[in-house]
Structure 1
Amino acid sequence: VTFFPAVLTLPAGGSATFFCNISIENNSGSEYSLNWYKEINNSQSQKIAGISRNNLQTRTEKYLLTNHTPAFKIEILNLHQHDSGSYYCGLITFFEPDKVMESNRSHLVVTAAPEKTNATDEPEMEEGNHPDYIKAVLLGILLLGGVIVLLIFGYLTITYRRGGYLWMMKCPDRISLQEEEKPPIASMSTVDYGVLEFQADQHTQMPPGTWPVDQTEYATIIFPEEKPVTPERGKKHQD
């Protein structure tokens, strides 16, 4: 009968697993049971659990036993520091009632449970990061809103331009009429101002006493607007 592993060191709150191998064959027909013991004060042994050949599994609040003949597994659950000590298994055969074959001893060391420092520090770090996280979220929302506004503005601009172009394509006559219906330009008559000088006839002899004083008179002549000469009118003029 062998018992292993030889040494286990585990923290409190976990579980420890040991295996016990026996040399009896399954087809031998012998009836037997397997017990586990814990040494107390290095002098006395205390039975903590047991399983028979025909049971596949036995469970208590503290121990879980599983039959994998020829190997048997024992799990010590919910470890505490007082579970530290030496353990071994003992094979009891019914054809030799008074004989117990004991295995070697294995030692279990249960250490104190680790302090949960990381679990408390991480929430503090997360709480410290909350303002930065909120700022990042708000910045992302603002950027997304700006992109949406730009897209809407671009869409409206393109739609407006397309609408004006389509209106021009559909109504070219209106545009040409508007261009043709410009206010008429009033024709202005050309006015030429000239100076007419009326002087006395040099050849007419006037008596010295009645010689008229030189006079200069001004007149305004308005020429009517010239009409274009048509072929018929030109012919009449020649006649």
Structure 2
Amino acid sequence: MSMERLCLIFCSICVSAVLVSNEVIKLSHTPVQLRVRLGEMAVFTCNLTALNFTPKDINWYRETNSTPFIKIADSKGTENKRLNITADWGQKKAVLYIKNVTLNDSGQYKCQHLYVDQNGEIFSSNTSVLIVENLHYLTTTVTDQTKQQVSAQHQLINKKAVIVTSVLLVLLLLLLSGIVTFLVWYKQRNKTPQPQLRHLEKPSQNSDVYTVDYGVLDFGNNQPYRKSAEISIQEQVEYATIMFP
């Protein structure tokens, strides 16, 4: 690195230090936080009413995470066609318009006025934050979050349904087991004991047996005349066969 470049860098640092040391916060920069969607317009207002004189110029600076505050526009004009400044010096007010914002426009903004007549005194404002939102990204993110929430709710509902179903099945099985046990116990309790049939059994009866007895029947004689004993005996004796079970 050449000595000339080193000297230039050193001088720039010194000038910046002097400017920072002379910086006075008197201006008001609004809004403090601005949130716009990608492609829309961002508007910042710099109020200079705290100055006891009428300024003739105004500068805007932006700071990002990767770069310090750098000048992006002034009241005399800018090369960036998306940036535009309108100033009303009588009202001590200047407005910065950023058209068709991009994600790179996000950062911190402030306005400054360099008062040359007072040994280069710098009047600066507070910083405002510009947030550029990607609507498509936000919609996708919200949709994904919604899907995740719905999925989590469905999983929770399914778990609850499984638990409830399992509990109901267990209770049903216990109820059926209790009913079966009660029926078996009730049946055994009301069962009539079998009597001892051994001594009540009747002796087996064989088939009917018929016996034959022979006897003599004596029939009286009602005849008035009398016969001889031999004839009387022959007439009065008859034979009959009687079968008794």
TM over 0.5: no
TM-score, L = length of structure 2: 0.40
With the length of structure 1 as denominator, give the TM-score of the two structures. Answer: 0.41
